[in-house]
Amino acid sequence: LIIIGGGEDREGEKTILRDVVRRSRRGKVVVATVATRDPEGYFEMYDRAFGELGVAEVVNLEIRTRCDALDQARLQALEGAAVIFFTGGDQLRITSQIGDTPVEWKLRALYESGCIVAGTSAGASAVCETMLVRGSGRESHRIGDVEMAPGLGFLQDVVIDQHFAQRGRMGRLLGVVAENPRVLGIGIDEDTAIIVENEARFEVLGTGAVYVVDGGGVTQSNIADERTDSVLSIYDVRLHVLSSEDRFLLPTRRPEQVPVIPEALPTAEAAAVAGGE
Amino acid sequence: LIIIGGGEDREGEKTILRDVVRRSRRGKVVVATVATRDPEGYFEMYDRAFGELGVAEVVNLEIRTRCDALDQARLQALEGAAVIFFTGGDQLRITSQIGDTPVEWKLRALYESGCIVAGTSAGASAVCETMLVRGSGRESHRIGDVEMAPGLGFLQDVVIDQHFAQRGRMGRLLGVVAENPRVLGIGIDEDTAIIVENEARFEVLGTGAVYVVDGGGVTQSNIADERTDSVLSIYDVRLHVLSSEDRFLLPTRRPEQVPVIPEALPTAEAAAVAGGE
């Protein structure tokens, strides 16, 4: 599961998309453009980017209506996918169009058999159990000023927010975590991704940061006491900011540094070291 | 000490300015326009606002050059002030123009004898021991991407940032706290203020929130290891978000709710309660 905060580099180094391709061994990429109203435009952009990264087969999973998600031809397009890549757009389009359809069942089966599911921006929000749908940026959270909806459910106990620092979304993510500290809030910057392995841990990739908002130790908040529109008050949030040398263990909610693997020594030196000389 | 996050209401309810006036019992207000390049414009605005709130005497402490701060007439303007109000502008203008001048000495003497010192925006940054001068908003902090300078020093062990949620400044405040967790980071939203009493505790006033970033429990950060421009990584920051029903105790770094004072009962009822009947 690869969750991208939007705005990933598609023309330069393409660090994140390159990593997606590397992990899938250049296998077939299905670009799921269901979130967007411009599926052709998005598909062209990703077709070019993945093509430049050496992927031979890139197909467009274009679903404009819920009927499309019942279509046999689209199910066949998914066959043999190594990557399903959800583009940006509107996360509610993803879940309302494919939720509980043969396309969703097929996606889940592919994921369970090892296919990479990746999502950026709206696609990032949609992959979790609960997704953030709407809420203000660039201001502090006001109670009631956030909307959530059931997501695709590939990752439990987590709510993702994207374009995080760029759109000043700390307030709304705190609002979500205040509502139920069972969910961990994960805010992902643009051109930044988390690579989730076994639903148990993630690493960070890209040029920005990932914010983990852990409400487990919260001692007080006014989320349930106050009327709508009051400013959120919350005490004792634990916050971690992670960059590309960090990883995070979900079951224990602990960050740690990615161990540095020492570079292999040149052979002669290695022999000398081995020989104690 | 009243520290305002900028953009306080000057035309409507004027909640914050009204509180400044109430606390000073409508005494003389000195508007220190030293931070701005438009002292007349700022003075007119505050002169009108304080006038509407019933203040009889509002004077402009206009200091365009460092020589002005040595001027006897300006010292006389300060005489009898109940409030010194620092406007927005550039915080470096405040400290570079009045630092270690008779005007500053007089300000300090007034503060020590009970005069209210208030600052908004640049004026808010300038009142503490160390002030934030520059740093990016709306992105995650990159190491080295923040500049600080010595402030006026009315409050120790604290760094203030203003326009906080509005300009997405969580990243840069985390950057400051990472550099030395001895300082507590306090981010104040627009139209929001902290009222600091005895340099020991503060209450929150206004329509936004106040963010307290406590790095005391930080277990790891890359601030000193990494080269400039790396994205900041920091674990275990304690974050409190406070609204107008909260206060904060600086020595223990603990938030708490402002006790609700029950409204006075109507006399008959009060008598009945008192009589046990």
Question: Coil, strand, or helix at residue A228?
Answer: coil
Task: Tell me if chain A has a CB within 8 Å of the CB of B185.
Answer: no
CB contact under 8 A, B174 and A241: yes
> What pTM was computed for the model?
0.91
The structure tokens listed for B142 are: 């990159």
B85: which residues sit within 8 A by CB, 6+ positions away?
A: B20, B29, B30, B31, B32, B46, B118, B119, B120, B123
Residue B86: which of B122, B110, B132 has the closest Cα? B122
CB contact under 8 A, A255 and B235: yes
Of B208, B232, B255, the CB nearest to A140: B208
ipTM of the complex: 0.89
CB contact under 8 A, B139 and A239: no
Asked if B239 and B214 count as a contact pair (C-beta separation under 8 A), the reply is yes
Of A189, A232, A245, the CB nearest to B140: A189
Query: Is A163 tagged catalytic?
Result: yes
Nearest CA-CA distance, residue B81 and chain A, Å? 34
Task: Tell me if chain A has a CB within 8 Å of the CB of B82.
Answer: no
Task: Tell me if chain A has a CB within 8 Å of the CB of B240.
Answer: yes
Q: Which residue of B has its CA nearest to A226?
A: B245
Of A207, A230, A245, the CB nearest to B243: A230
Contacts of A245 in chain B (CB under 8 A): 222, 233
Task: Tell me if chain B has a CB within 8 Å of the CB of A220.
Answer: yes
pLDDT by residue for chain B (277 residues), tens only, comes to 999 999 999 999 999 999 999 999 999 999 999 999 999 999 999 999 999 999 999 999 999 999 999 999 999 999 999 999 999 999 999 999 999 999 999 999 999 999 999 999 999 999 999 999 999 999 999 998 999 999 999 999 999 999 999 999 999 999 999 999 999 999 999 999 999 999 999 999 999 999 999 999 999 999 998 777 899 999 999 999 999 999 999 999 999 999 887 665 555 555 555 444 3
Task: Tell me if chain A has a CB within 8 Å of the CB of B235.
Answer: yes
Q: Which residue of A has its CA nearest to B204?
A: A233
Task: Tell me if chain A has a CB within 8 Å of the CB of B140.
Answer: yes
The dihedral through the CA atoms of B115, B202, A224, A128 has a sign that is positive
Q: State the Cα–Cα distance between residues A85 and A90, nearest whole angstrom.
A: 15
Task: Tell me if chain A has a CB within 8 Å of the CB of B122.
Answer: no
Angstrom CA distances, A132 to A99, A153, B68, B135, stand at 16, 13, 55, 29
Catalytic residues of B: 121, 139, 163
